[in-house]
Structure 1
Amino acid sequence: MERVPQHVRRRIWRSRLYIDDVQEIVDLLGADSADVKISVPGYSTAGGADELRQFKNTTLHEIEIVRARPIYVSVDLLPNRGFIYGAEDDPTTVGLVNKVADILRPCRRWPSTIIFNTITFSVLSLGWSIFVLVLLASSPADVHWSAQKKLLLIASVLPILLLGGASFWIQLQRHTLIVCSRRFDAPTFWRRNKDSITLAIISTIIGALLGTVITIVVTKALG
């Protein structure tokens, strides 16, 4: 019986790519003189990643890089998801797909790496479970919990709620981003985000102060 080739597919998380990253993929796919085409909404080129410089002042959230012959491999990045596709599962195609995945892995946008990490959620859930068990073990069954223990129980749920809220925000707002400049020419992280970081720090300080005041007031009122 003749074996039927199967396609190869790898999922890619939301990423931030620079021209350097795109060119590295193009060089890999075109290493044996194969034609590689780059496509962005409304445009396509076979002239390499430097052609993207014309979009320097434009925010791109989609890009497709295709090697058609002799081995078909495509990299398709969309705002909320992305895939690397190989037409067959022979060793050469699988090797190219895995090498492209290795190039894109460091490009994952860091909040999605943390928020959508199963280990992160598991650690928080385990910590919450242990905390609840400790509270239950330290409280006799026939004694009502004190206000402090109730507040601690509520506070222990907050990290999990924050994780869920952050995941929801990322699903709505944080997309794949193609930066149409070289990495060393691009603005630094601080220059891109200083307003948001400053606002987050101020909000955190205010929230912590309000939380402390509310906890003190409630404790005194109930105690």
Structure 2
Amino acid sequence: MNFESDRIWLYAGEDTITNRGVLVKVKEVLKPRRLRFGWFSKTGWSWLFGSIIGVFLEDFIEGIIKETWLVIVVGIAFGLIFVVWVFWAMNIQTKRYSLIILKRRHEQESFWKRNKDKIIVALIASLISGILGVGGTLLIQLLTKM
């Protein structure tokens, strides 16, 4: 079995009924769980979006200079869509991996039970960071008043 970002290759050494059954079972498990818009994260789309933004960049800059609000809003909207898309595609390309869990959803523990320790550590770390951030800000304000 070879897992790639957009496809899975299944190889069988012999053409037997058992091997075919295994391949069919693997297909039944994996096919419903595939990423629906995985093709949208490919490099070709980044070239297309980059080209579209490049074409409209001059109009966007001119809209800023002339204060044409419609052009500015549309430009910002396209920019935000592009940024979200880039981060989504990078996440899929670099951080997605295959994890096969042979349990039914109702048999599996909930997200909160599985990750309870990680969530508690994250909350404690964010609380400490918040306290240190506020304390540092107050200290700097106090020092600048002196």
Same fold (TM over 0.5): no
Higher RCO (CA 8 Å, separation ≥ 6 residues): 1
Q: Which structure: greater helix fraction? A: 2
Identify the structure with the greater strand proportion.
Answer: 1
TM-score (norm 1): 0.30
